[in-house]
Structure 1
Amino acid sequence: MAPVPLPLTPPLQPMLATAVDEIPTGKDLLFEPKWDGFRCLVFRDGDDVVLQSRSGKPLNRYFPEVVEALKRTLPTRIVLDGELVVAKDDRLDFDALAERIHPAASRVTLLAESMPAAYVAFDVLAVGDDVLLERPCTERRDVLLALLKPGDGLYLTPATTNVELARQWFELFEGAGLDGVIGKPAASEYTPGKRSMIKVKHARTADCVVAGLRWHKDTEPGTAVGSLLLGLHDDRGVLHHIGVVGSFKAARRRELADELSDLITEDDHPWLGPDAEDGRRLPGAINRWRGEHASWIALRPERVLEISYTQTEGAHPARLRHNGQFSRWRPDREADSCRYDQLDQPARYDVDSVLRGEVKPA
């Protein structure tokens, strides 16, 4: 008799989350750490394992060691929701994870051996011929606990219904590179593509130098700002590019183009000319996502604005993990006073302890 195919097959949209400002009380929620990696659905049917990204694309070729690990550890017919992560020096390393998305098979093989990824499971959607989407969240969690044996590249996320413990996780686990806390209604179904969960992420502010801009791609150059390029000074006084702010409304984009026009310069700028070759981080550089330099417009680095941001990545110097959000102009701040030491650095925490589930249960 021919084998019965899995009852769920890719592509399948994962369940999503809506951002909230704080961990709520008075609600029946199952809390989990928010892992800073690549969202990944896993479909195993015998010897066939498919890693599917949030957008529905296959990830197998980039993570061969994860595919092999899951063949050794998972039940033969199962569908999971989880996250691909890379840990380095006691914390998650998103840069190292992103390097895995590389066109050269030799590079992928090298990184799979030198810095292997792991899979953190946090939900089960199907087992054998049974679809579990309509089962309550806590019941799916029980199935997950019964089925999975962590180890060899496979981990099971910690979970708790204790609000106070979730708040402790929110503060402590950031030091291990985690991104916040997820809350799932304990009695809820799994709803593909719908924002049925909540997420609480860290939010901070910083005063940054505005040292450049990019024109909005859908308008004539010089008429509307697409994004503002931000900088911070290191201990030597060197100005590094740390990221951008954007997402302005159309009218504000036009206002900014007029407001900043007098600051446009083509020389005597720390990101232009020979002074820019001293190791400072520059905008528009070639990277694994972009094969040529991205154009930008230099502004005299005189104006300061306050941004809100969630977290940073990299080191010496760091940069924004996600685009910053514009808060307000700071005419009271001098540009040379905007330094890296204002960025909040979380206390270190051992990510291996989180991966192994060696945290206080509810």
Structure 2
Amino acid sequence: MKPVDLPVNPPIAPMLAKAVASVPPQPEGTPTWLYEPKWDGFRVLIFRDGDEVAMASRGGKDLARYFPEVVAAARAELPDRVVLDGEIGVPRLFGDVHRLDWDALSQRIHPAKSRIDMLAEKTPALVVGFDALALGDADLMGEPFEVRRAALLAAVAGRPNTRTIRASRVTDDTGVAQRWFSAFEGAGLDGIVAKDRGARYLPGKREMVKVKHKRTADCVVIGYRVHKSGRGVGSLLLGLYGDDGDIAMVGGSSAFSDAKRLELQDLLEPMRLDPGQPRPGEPTRWRQAGTGEFYPVRPDLVAEFAYDQMENGRFRHTVKFLRWRPDREPQSCRYGQLEVPLGYDLYSVLEEL
């Protein structure tokens, strides 16, 4: 990561949010909360010191090498000395609306510079800033959020050439925030974050609150992977039937206890499809070809799983096992049961600042 000399320098652990069940209402009197859309991408802290730009992930990973177009935008669009907290996403056109595309974003993390450069041109990212930790020679971390918000707007909003780095919307109206929670999911957003307008920036602390979309779906178990220890089931592979009668893999479920892994292995081993040999897993940015082998099983078992969002016909994140559904026929587990958010264009979320 490039060295910078700013009032706030890396490494900095970003401030986090704790989950709550619903959008918190404003107390009587002066509104306390400022509500923002929850952007679902890679968390990023951007440090600009003249020509030097550093970009750190939540875990401290150097993101600048993977997003050269964002580095160039920081030099062109931001003040000479600034530290911003935000989220990187990749907008893509789905039908007639733009959404954040998690798959396209994930593909941007690649070891080959040639591919990084190609994807920077083919699937350019944007950054939505939602906090400012420093501006000029001022350390803003001890200032109230509403002061840092004003600094963010001074750094990003209102600059006519700003296209790659934007500022998140905010409202102090609980009703508006609740409408955003439903409407903005259609643009690929993940929920709502509420921030105390008077709070300082506390690195690594869960001082904000977040409300995320949670749903359930009944899925067919179509296979499993063995746990990395070699004992028990590491993850279940899940499927849904389409209108054509074919079943498609839609995601996976993991994070089982030791006892549950062994229980699942005892249940699923007799259900392996002939000849009962593992099939190769698809290579991803996390594993190479020839790894991730799984055992396909007869599509006889149905279970209920908790999920947050679908994207491109698959669960965006790993889903959580809830319970078996012996009352459901596998063929009845179809895409039609899934709640599909209304289309809402990503740039409409940004342009109404």
User: Could you tell me the TM-score, scaled by structure 1's length?
Assistant: 0.88
Conserved 8 A contact 1:207-1:305: yes
Query: Unmatched 5+ residue regions in structure 1?
Result: 273-282
Deviations 1:109-142 (A, max 9, x none): 2222233211111000012222111111112112
What RMSD in Å do the two structures reach over aligned CA positions? 2.0
Q: Which of the residues 111, 114, 126 maps onto 2:122? A: 114
- Partner amino acid for 1:287? T
**SS of 1:266 mapped into structure 2:** coil
The CA distance in 2 between the partners of 1:54 and 1:333, in whole Å, is 41
- Return the alpha-carbon distance in structure 2 between the equivalents of residues 247 and 61 of structure 1: 32
Contact 2:226 2:235 in 1 (8 A): yes
Alignment partner, residue 85 of structure 2: 81
Give the aligned length: 338
Which residue of structure 1 aligns with residue 282 of structure 2? 285
Give, as a single letter, the amino acid of the residue that structure 2 aligns with 1:49.
V
2:185 maps to which residue?
174
SS in 2 for 1:31: strand
Structure 2 counterpart of 1:45: 49
Residue 62 (str. 1) matches residue 66 (str. 2): yes
Looking at structure 1, the residues matched to 17 and 297 of structure 2 have their Cα atoms a distance apart, in angstroms, of 38
Return the match for 2:141 from 113, 116, 133. Answer: 133
- Secondary structure at the counterpart of residue 167 of structure 1: helix
Tell me, in whole angstroms, the C-alpha distance in 2 between the residues paired with 1:15 and 1:340: 37
- Asked if structure 2 preserves the Cα contact closer than 8 Å seen for 1:41 and 1:53, the reply is yes
After superposition, the C-alpha distances for 1:33-83 in whole angstroms (9 at most, x for unaligned) are 111211110000111011111111111121111111111111111111001
Q: Deviations over 1:80-101 (max 9, x none)?
A: 1001111111111122222221
1:143-154 to structure 2, matched below 5 A, reads: 143-148=151-156, 149-150=158-159, 151-154=162-165
Q: Please list every run of at least 4 consecutive aligned residues from structure 1 whose deviation after the TM superposition is greater than 6 angstroms.
A: none
Identity of aligned residues (%): 50
Task: Map 1:11-22 onto structure 2 (within 5 A).
Answer: 11-22=11-22
Contact kept, 8 Å, 2:33 with 2:172, in 1: the verdict is yes
* Cα separation, 2, equivalents of 1:45 and 1:337: 58
Q: Residue deviations 1:135-170, cap 9 Å, x none?
A: 111121122223323522111100111111100100
Equivalent residue of 1:300, what SS? coil
Specify every segment of 5 or more residues in structure 2 that has no aligned partner in the other structure, as ranges.
none
1:333 corresponds in structure 2 to 328
Aligned to 1:193: 204
Aligned to 2:295: 297
Shift of 1:256: 2.4
> Which deviates more from structure 2 when the two are superposed, residues 303-312 or residues 22-31?
22-31
Write the distance in 1 (CA, Å) between the matches of 2:120 and 2:260.
46
Task: Say if 1:227 and 1:247, in contact at 8 Å, map to a contact too.
Answer: yes
TM-score by length of 2: 0.90
Deviations 1:298-354 (A, max 9, x none): 22110100111000122xxx1111111111111111111111122211000111111
